[in-house]
Structure 1
Amino acid sequence: MNMLKKISKSVLVLAVMLVASCSDRLSEINENPNGIDPATANPNLMMPEVMNNAARGYLELGYGDVAGVAQHIQHDGWFSGINHYDWGPQDWSGWYNMLRNNEFLYKRSVELNYKFHQGVALTMRSFIFGVITDLWGDAPYTSAVKGDQSNEFLKPGFDSQEVIYKGIIADLKAASALFATKDATGYTAGYDIFYAGNPTSWQKFANTLLLRYYMRVSEKMPAEAKAGIEAIYASGVYMKTPAEDAVMNYIGATAGNSWPGAVAFDQEQSNFRRKKPAQTLLNSLMTNSDPRLKVWFAPVYVRWVADPTLATPVDEFIRKDGVIMQGTRYLTDVVFNAEVKKGVKFTRHYNPKLYTGTLDTNEYVGVPPGLRQPDYYNNNPTPGQTVQNQHVSQLADAYRGSSGGLLKARLASSAETAFILAEAAQKGWAVGTAATHYNAGVKNSLETWGVGSQYDAYIAKPGVAYNNTLERIMEQKWIASWTAATEAWFDYRRTGLPALKAGQASAEPVLPVRFNYGDNEVNFNRTNADDAINKLETTKHSGLRGKNSQWSKPWVIQGTGKPW
């Protein structure tokens, strides 16, 4: 009996020990070895994630759908979104995911009293919220990214654009003050992918963004915009040279960290081929023999040549160095590219007396905006996406690449800064002379794209030289925003310049002014989304979508009469 009691006690002790051991093991198992403990997280590790995603997202807008609105680019395949603004509901969750990571970065930096990291977080928060409100209008701001704090924030209210822009400006001022201390305590080399931990460079970035947003609201908040821009100019702390631009280089190891459409990760190369220069931009470049033309775009593979002796309206086959290639109506992009690099000239003749259509015989040919069938343009013998249009220019070979050289995501630039100051000066604000800033903007852009040596000849051209008009400033600013076309779109929306026109296949005869709120917000945060939608200004172009349309006006342009 005593032996049984001893055995029972031993079993009980063993059981307790096993339970305790299992409990310890479960605790170990439930600790994610790949997760970040908020209590010990290193802010350096969070910075590149936020910066990389924001830069990539911004580039993909300015090189994608928005490049179509700004008429920098047109597509000749999968073209309705780019060319016709045929947009459905647009989801913003990717931008709010960036904000969640950024909020973690900011809180941890405050806990550690890392001034540099706080400044970075405030600057990136401003940049990301700026993109959101610029694109959509009213949006969750004061209640955003707080879902982990209370259930009431799971369906956040939408703040007005006025509140958001004022908050952006306040955060950028705070960031600038933090960077002004030059305190980079806690920074570890290699984790700042924009400026390598340089507080002065970040302060210039923050102040350049301040210039951007002051000018953005200048029609709605003129006194604040004037005072703010004058103060930044007086400080002298803002981007002045291309070396100070906020850019991110691509790694180029995978499709996800390479330039969009890199042919190394696209066997068919269709993503590269479908991007074509918009004729609107090309016309401006060709009119003034702009040296950036050859940097950005390639000549047509096969140039049309007028030949009144031709017995037929057009050659059936292409010509190689003037000799007809019997049976060859086209070649592939790969073959054309290799031959052209050897100096071979391809042409196709037409008889202007017999051909009843219109042909563009220039060396550089773009796609006019909003065509119904852009793949047929300029009498393309191979419409569709299987082979490139040999009679329309493609982007320059550099844009086939994965990384390096010109392939950078540019968030803000010294050229943009100079054009903002030129506009401010033209308004009569105390920021120096408009001509000086305009010339600096042109020069900075040319230097950015490697053709700065041609500045003197270019600026002297009658179509380029400053002529005391806002139209001239905005045209050059529009050109300089290549691959960052979101700024060109928002400038157009604010000023109506350049005087861009929608194409024939656009659902409305004018350019859109915003993105539509996404289904997630409309379906799952309906009360707040409806409230924001009702604050939009319905226009005669809003169409069947009603207020939540890309042609309904958000607060920032309501009452301005712009852009149409």
Structure 2
Amino acid sequence: MMIALVCWVGFTGCDDKLDEMNINPYGIDPTEVNPNLLMPTILASAAQNYTNLGVNDLAGAVQHTQKNGWYGGHNNYSWESMSWNGWYDILRNNDLLYKRAVELENEFFQGVSLTMKSFVFGNITDLWGDAPYTNALMGFETSPESQFPAFDNQEVIYDGIIADLENAVALFNSSNSDLVVPANDLYFGGDVGSWKRFANSLLLRYYLRISSKKPEVAKAGIEAIYSSGEYIQNPSQDAVLDYTGGASDIWITRHIALNPDDFQRYQACQTFIDQLVGTNDPRLPVWFAPVRVQWEADESLDVAAEDFIRNDGEALGVVTYPFDDFVELYPNENFTRKYNPNLVSYNDAAYVGLPPSLMIPESYNGNPSPGQGTQNQHVSQLADIYQSAGSAGDILKSRLISAAEVSFIFAEAALKGWNVGSAEDHYYMGIQNSLITWEKEAEYEAFIAQPEVAFNNTIQQVIEQKWVASWTAAAESFADYKRTGYPMLETGPQSPQPRVALRFQYGNDEYNNNAESITGALDRLELTEYSGGFGKDSQWSKSWLYQGSSIPW
């Protein structure tokens, strides 16, 4: 009896303590959270996710870069089971921001939340197609069925994005930022006018996105924003997240100091190098380093290639140096290596890229030290500014939308005959804005004077210069390619299909946990001759926006 009493007292005592311990004295009740505390996580995560696309798989898809290691997704569209969980995590935090903003009757925070909701859902539908939207953020507390939200048609999502952005602009018209902690607004420091320009500029992006399906809606929307003048007009107004140089910023630079193997995997794509070299583009040395060792043709050699390198012509006893030595010990040395062009073919230019989708990219162009994540002294890697924050100045930022992009949007709209001013003026302004961004404005006049760059009144030229200006923001060029077919990209031998892919496959989480809802989305995808063995959920299937068109193929 005594034992039982002790156990009963012991267990009730434990129960009381457990009840007390389950209350987190440091936790914040979601119904009381300050919107200022939510903003930094939402804004930083959205920018990081976007730039991660822009320097990784989509940079490979639009052929800004290729990788010489761990390159399946980057070079060859291995986008099976691509999870969107990170994007929906942002949306859940953002939904709480909106609810708190409504409870507090704060129109500024409401506008910020609607703008970020549109930005995030825009990326989701751009990349996957149909997706949970209308019921995506209701949660179990609304109804058990809300755990498994239906996939909305892509048209519904784009319409919703545009409606939310229009609502955000209206809110910014009547709001102030009196209750905003400026340091917590990582983009604009609490400036209402900047947020309004951002929202209007995103509207321009998405009006243009739907312009082939709903031309009258797009035309009216773009013309109205142009007339208002309230959009991003110069690089100082760009929507950016500043680069701080900490470990959390590895998503933008792949610092050699933090992860040298990863940094060395990123190499220029020959498609992009051809464009930049062919137009004497002043941004080339800002983005890429020359080859560390340049091939030099010599028909007198009795071997295909020398097994040593030269410094200013003097033979050295090594075939290569470690990457750190090239960068730190010999940054301005002139290294060469001779080959006999009658016996072997190498690219002996100062800037060399990897052709897309190579079978063995790590061995390309006679690399004497092939391997995943090792340097290739005969191929251009990222420029030295990407190795450390100190040398980057103010130009390394995550750019969500820029003045350059806005100018090119107006240039394309003008070529469609819409009332937005001169296509030529906007085209040149797009180039100038990009050169300002990358601190090459002094070379603007010489650059545009070249026949290859001078305005020729074509959509192709506008989109190609927009593609160049989208460096580190490749998601937009990827959308433009699918919409216009420009630039005219070709794949390589390792690609599963002879065309550039169009979308990400849905993730395994959706198949395992929301199988009933995903069925309708799969039925709405359009099979193409390149969909292959994946069925409709293929990287080469077409979502609503691109159906019924032979563009891009």
TM-score normalised to the size of structure 2? 0.95
| Counterpart selection for 2:261 from 270, 275, 283 | 270
Matched with 1:204 is 197
Matched with 1:536 is 525
Matched with 2:4 is none
Matched with 1:302 is 293
Q: 1:388 to 1:257 in 2, by over 3 A?
A: closer
Cα distance in 1, alignment partners of residues 26 and 223 from structure 2? 48
Contact 2:51–2:252, Cα closer than 8 Å, also in 1: no
Alignment deviations for residues 272-293 of structure 1 (CA, whole Å, 9 cap, x no partner): 1010010001101001110000
1:464 paired with 2:453, answer yes
- State the 1:19 CA deviation: 8.3
- State the 1:385 CA deviation: 3.0
Cα distance in 1, alignment partners of residues 359 and 243 from structure 2? 35
Alignment deviations for residues 274-331 of structure 1 (CA, whole Å, 9 cap, x no partner): 10010001101001110000100001011011122223221111111211112x1111
- State the 1:182 CA deviation: 4.4
Amino acid at match of 2:305: V
Matched with 1:288 is 279
| Counterpart selection for 2:80 from 88, 110, 118 | 88
Indicate the structure (1 or 2) with the bigger Cα radius of gyration. 1
- State the 1:485 CA deviation: 0.4
Root-mean-square deviation (Å): 1.9
Contact 2:264–2:373, Cα closer than 8 Å, also in 1: no
Give ranges in structure 1 of 5+ residues lacking alignment.
1-14
SS in 2 for 1:366: coil
1:45 paired with 2:34, answer no
Alignment deviations for residues 235-270 of structure 1 (CA, whole Å, 9 cap, x no partner): 10000100111110133332466634122322xx01
- State the 1:549 CA deviation: 0.3
Cα distance in 2, alignment partners of residues 28 and 189 from structure 1? 37
Cα distance in 2, alignment partners of residues 421 and 485 from structure 1? 19
SS in 1 for 2:151: coil
1:385 paired with 2:372, answer yes
Amino acid at match of 1:397: D
Cα distance in 2, alignment partners of residues 240 and 255 from structure 1? 30
SS in 1 for 2:252: coil
1:215 paired with 2:208, answer yes
1:29 paired with 2:16, answer no
Matched with 1:8 is none
Alignment deviations for residues 79-119 of structure 1 (CA, whole Å, 9 cap, x no partner): 12111112211111111111000000000011101111111
Matched with 2:387 is 400
Q: 1:22 to 1:538 in 2, by over 3 A?
A: closer
Stretch deviating more after TM superposition (393-402 or 358-367): 393-402
Cα distance in 2, alignment partners of residues 424 and 187 from structure 1? 36
Matched with 2:321 is 331
Stretch deviating more after TM superposition (84-93 or 246-255): 246-255
Matched with 2:5 is none
Contact 1:367–1:377, Cα closer than 8 Å, also in 2: yes
Cα distance in 2, alignment partners of residues 320 and 421 from structure 1? 49
Matched with 2:226 is 233
Cα distance in 1, alignment partners of residues 345 and 436 from structure 2? 37
1:362 paired with 2:343, answer no
Q: 1:313 to 1:19 in 2, by over 3 A?
A: closer
Contact 2:265–2:373, Cα closer than 8 Å, also in 1: no
Cα distance in 2, alignment partners of residues 479 and 136 from structure 1? 24
Matched with 2:544 is 555
Matched with 1:518 is 507
Contact 1:255–1:262, Cα closer than 8 Å, also in 2: no
Large movers: runs of 4+ above 6 Å: 18-22
- State the 1:506 CA deviation: 0.5
| Counterpart selection for 1:135 from 127, 150, 154 | 127
Contact 2:240–2:398, Cα closer than 8 Å, also in 1: yes
Matched with 2:443 is 454
Matched with 2:330 is 340
Cα distance in 1, alignment partners of residues 490 and 311 from structure 2? 38
Matched with 1:7 is none
Matched with 2:173 is 180
Matched with 1:69 is 61
Amino acid at match of 1:272: F
| Counterpart selection for 2:163 from 170, 190, 208 | 170
Alignment deviations for residues 92-147 of structure 1 (CA, whole Å, 9 cap, x no partner): 11111110000000000111011111111000000000011111000000000111
Stretch deviating more after TM superposition (229-238 or 329-338): 329-338
1:372 paired with 2:335, answer no
Cα distance in 2, alignment partners of residues 288 and 159 from structure 1? 43
Give ranges in structure 2 of 5+ residues lacking alignment.
1-7
- State the 1:172 CA deviation: 0.3
The 5-angstrom pairing of residues 431-450 of structure 1 reads 431-450=420-439
Contact 2:265–2:374, Cα closer than 8 Å, also in 1: no
Contact 1:258–1:402, Cα closer than 8 Å, also in 2: no
Q: How many corresponding residue pairs? A: 542
Matched with 1:422 is 411
SS in 2 for 1:264: coil
Contact 2:155–2:544, Cα closer than 8 Å, also in 1: yes
Contact 1:251–1:258, Cα closer than 8 Å, also in 2: no
Q: 1:20 to 1:377 in 2, by over 3 A?
A: closer
SS in 1 for 2:399: strand
Q: 1:453 to 1:552 in 2, by over 3 A?
A: same
Contact 1:252–1:258, Cα closer than 8 Å, also in 2: no
- State the 1:338 CA deviation: 2.4
Cα distance in 2, alignment partners of residues 34 and 421 from structure 1? 50
Stretch deviating more after TM superposition (249-258 or 526-535): 249-258
Stretch deviating more after TM superposition (136-145 or 404-413): 404-413
Contact 1:103–1:121, Cα closer than 8 Å, also in 2: yes
Contact 2:52–2:251, Cα closer than 8 Å, also in 1: no
Amino acid at match of 1:547: K
Amino acid at match of 1:334: D
Cα distance in 1, alignment partners of residues 25 and 163 from structure 2? 38
Amino acid at match of 2:28: I
Contact 2:51–2:251, Cα closer than 8 Å, also in 1: no
